């Protein structure tokens, strides 16, 4: 019975509210967040709660449950945020359909952004390449190099 869809809304509401009462598990800028003892105690409380409907539940089950809930929330939050950011009118803003969305709003600013790499090239580099190739000599030299390279590959 670990599937969230099979759990009652009442149980999940209680579970989320209990999770909210323990900021050591979700508030990353809190001093409690790095306190292992507080976290261990909080997880024990959530494990006991989960054991009400899943007798063999462990800390790992609680962590998975929290990750599943937060993942669903993040997807909905991203849709709402992107619809606001797009400049759409008030009528076009995405309305979350996830029933527990409002219950998890307290975690919205708690995710640590992952480093990303842009796949968009810098326009200034592109302009430099173009200006170099505008010159007839450079263009011819470049074409010769490409044809030599292509011939070498195909031979």
Q: What is the pLDDT of residues 77-126, one digit of tens each?
A: 998 888 877 666 666 778 888 999 999 999 987 765 555 565 665 554 44
What does the pLDDT average to over 130-145?
Answer: 44
Q: Contact, 51 vs 33, CB < 8 A?
A: no
40 by Cβ neighbours in 10 Å (0-12 / 13-18 / 19+) ranks as: exposed
Of the CA atoms within 13 Å of residue 61, those in its CB half-sphere come to 19
Which residues contact residue 69 at a Cβ distance below 8 angstroms, ignoring those fewer than 6 apart?
Answer: 4, 12, 16, 100, 104
Is the residue at 155 inside a domain?
A: no
Is the residue at 113 inside a domain?
A: no
pLDDT higher for 136 or 59? 59
pLDDT score for 149 = 45
The token duo for 109 is 């600013």
- Average predicted confidence (pLDDT) for the chain: 78
The C-alpha atoms of residue 35 and residue 2 are separated, in whole angstroms, by 28
pLDDT score for 150 = 46
Is the residue at 13 inside a domain?
A: yes
Is the residue at 147 inside a domain?
A: no
Q: How many domains is the chain built from?
A: 1
Is the residue at 139 inside a domain?
A: no
State if pTM tops 0.85.
Answer: no
Please give the angle made by the CA atoms of 2, 101 and 66, to the nearest 5 degrees.
Answer: 35
Full DSSP string of 75-89: HHHHHHHHHHHTT--
Is the residue at 150 inside a domain?
A: no
Is the residue at 98 inside a domain?
A: yes
Domain range for 32? 4-107
Per residue, what are the HEC states of 4-28?
HHHCCHHHHHHHHHHHHCCHHHCCC
Is the residue at 55 inside a domain?
A: yes
């Amino acid at each position: 019975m670990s599937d969230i869809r099979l759990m009652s809304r009442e149980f999940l509401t209680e579970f989320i509210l209990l999770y909210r009462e323990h900021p050591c598990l979700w508030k990353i800028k809190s001093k409690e967040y790095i306190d292992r003892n507080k976290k261990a105690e909080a997880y024990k409380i959530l494990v006991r709660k989960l054991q009400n409907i899943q007798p063999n539940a462990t800390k790992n089950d609680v962590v998975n449950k929290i990750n599943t809930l937060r993942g669903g929330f993040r997807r909905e939050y991203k849709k709402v945020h992107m619809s606001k950011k797009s400049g759409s009118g008030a009528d076009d803003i995405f309305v979350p359909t996830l029933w527990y969305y409002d219950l998890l709003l307290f975690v919205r600013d708690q995710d640590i952004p992952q480093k990303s790499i842009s796949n968009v090239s810098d326009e200034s580099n592109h302009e430099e390449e173009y200006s170099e190739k505008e010159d007839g000599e450079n263009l011819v030299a470049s074409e010769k190099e490409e044809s030599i390279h292509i011939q070498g590959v195909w031979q």
